[in-house]
Structure 1
Amino acid sequence: MAILYEKTVDGLCYQVRSAGNSRRLYTGDVFHSQYNPNHAATGSVWDLLFLPSQFYAPGEIKRVLLLGVGGGAVIHMLNRFIGPQQVIGVEINATHIQIAKRFFNLKYKNLQWQHANAIEWMTTYDGDPFDMIIDDLYFEQDGEPQRAIEADASWFDVLTEHLTENGLLVMNFVNYKEWRHSAYYNEDFVAQEFQSVYQFATPTCHNAVIALLKKQTETKQLRASLRQWPELNPERKGCRLRYAVKKIA
């Protein structure tokens, strides 16, 4: 694996490494993103952030908000398979933004960057609602990724306030224990906001990615949608997409 880029900023080492056509972003000891222009799926957690969008018909998801961009792997999938009119990416780390543009080809016309603290930006946002919000806010502590904000009732309230009537909220948790300690399980009003809830997993990591939808759906809808795309159809030989899904509500 070759190192394409390496820079230390404020004591933190950033690296972009290549393996064939694949590029990977490492910040400190944390693996932040992976992108290969020859493959639609990454085979890891970033696929799970995208997958819930397949519960929606083409054209339903017009505006997407991504809180925490990193290298932006999920943005490539969103543009390739659902083509939203607008994607807003909020990222606090200026180095990540520079790397994403230079090495991960994030130059879409529908992508609007916001260099800001995503939590502060979200709590003061007063614009149009979003059809899809992805909460992928992490920082590094002792070489391990940690969620940047607890998924308590206040944070759920902020996020759901800015969803459309049939909107989708996707949240990335370190593990299932962290998800089960979230306000979804502890505050009735949070659970009542959503008609369908799913948890996604992949064998390549321990993360629990949760999709909370404001409309009724079934897993068969997801599987039918994926079969429409050769690159995403798990039944096809060579498909890199590896996931498990379980309906919670």
Structure 2
Amino acid sequence: MIRLLHHYLQPESVVGVELNPIHLQVARDFFEAEQPGVTLVEGDARAWVESYRGEPFDMVIDDLFGDTDGEAERAITASGVWMGSLARLLTPEGALVINFGSREELRGSGYFTNQRVTRRFNAVHELTLPLFENAIGVFLGEALQPSELHTSLQELSGVGALYVDGRPKYRLRRIE
């Protein structure tokens, strides 16, 4: 993810938190994760989020998965408490991006069950790809229409693989 963020968004800084030291070593050795402005933290994401007291972030990405009997599942349920903790890390106009195992999991998340989390975000979008079950929730501090997000994606260099004949392969829906 860090390499992709650098390629598409060129952020000034990135913090990656990973529990498994082997995953961190693989990121360093094979995915060029150690770059200027990148901080890799070995630790539990929940504890790190709760203890963080630094500058707010423009974007927080939650892609926390583990497995049970070989099936992928979220490592931390996206409850109202967890989403509120992640939202606390953001600038007022910041974006929270969460990978969910399914559309149903997204629809059952803390955004829909916790009014404080609901009020925190001015726009919420669901991003899906036809060959995958998972759904990406994009929770925005500033209101954007799907057409504005499509335009932003098209302007990123190198995302041509997301398009066929100028049309997106993905589906983007605004959630009301």
CA distance in structure 2 between the aligned counterparts of 1:138 and 1:211, rounded to whole angstroms: 17
- Give yes or no for the alignment of 1:231 onto 2:158: yes
Alignment CA distance shift 1:229-1:177 (3 Å): closer
CA distance in structure 2 between the aligned counterparts of 1:176 and 1:95, rounded to whole angstroms: 30
User: 2:30 maps to which residue?
Assistant: 103
TM score, norm. by length of structure 1: 0.66
Q: CA deviation at 1:231?
A: 2.5
Q: Deviations over 1:85-127 (max 9, x none)?
A: 0000000000001111112222321211000111111111111
User: 1:87 maps to which residue?
Assistant: 14
Alignment CA distance shift 1:200-1:174 (3 Å): same
Q: Which amino acid aligns with 2:89?
A: H
User: 2:86 maps to which residue?
Assistant: 159
Q: Which amino acid aligns with 2:14?
A: V
- Give yes or no for the alignment of 1:180 onto 2:101: no
1:171 paired residue among 95, 98, 105: 98
Q: CA deviation at 1:227?
A: 2.9
Q: CA deviation at 1:237?
A: 5.4
CA distance in structure 2 between the aligned counterparts of 1:140 and 1:92, rounded to whole angstroms: 14
Which stretches in structure 2 are left out of the alignment for 5+ residues? Answer: none
Q: Retained in 2: the 8 A contact 1:87–1:110?
A: yes
CA distance in structure 2 between the aligned counterparts of 1:75 and 1:246, rounded to whole angstroms: 26
Q: CA deviation at 1:236?
A: 6.0
Q: CA deviation at 1:133?
A: 0.3
Percent sequence identity over matched residues?
33
TM score, norm. by length of structure 2: 0.91
Write out aligned runs for 1:63-212 (5 A).
Answer: 74-212=1-139
Q: Retained in 2: the 8 A contact 1:184–1:190?
A: yes
Give the number of aligned pairs: 175
CA distance in structure 2 between the aligned counterparts of 1:230 and 1:151, rounded to whole angstroms: 31
Alignment CA distance shift 1:187-1:230 (3 Å): closer
Q: Structure 1 residue runs of 4+, over 6 Å off? A: none
CA distance in structure 2 between the aligned counterparts of 1:98 and 1:220, rounded to whole angstroms: 39
CA distance in structure 2 between the aligned counterparts of 1:173 and 1:153, rounded to whole angstroms: 14
CA distance in structure 2 between the aligned counterparts of 1:107 and 1:155, rounded to whole angstroms: 28
Alignment CA distance shift 1:156-1:227 (3 Å): closer
Q: Max radius of gyration: which structure?
A: 1
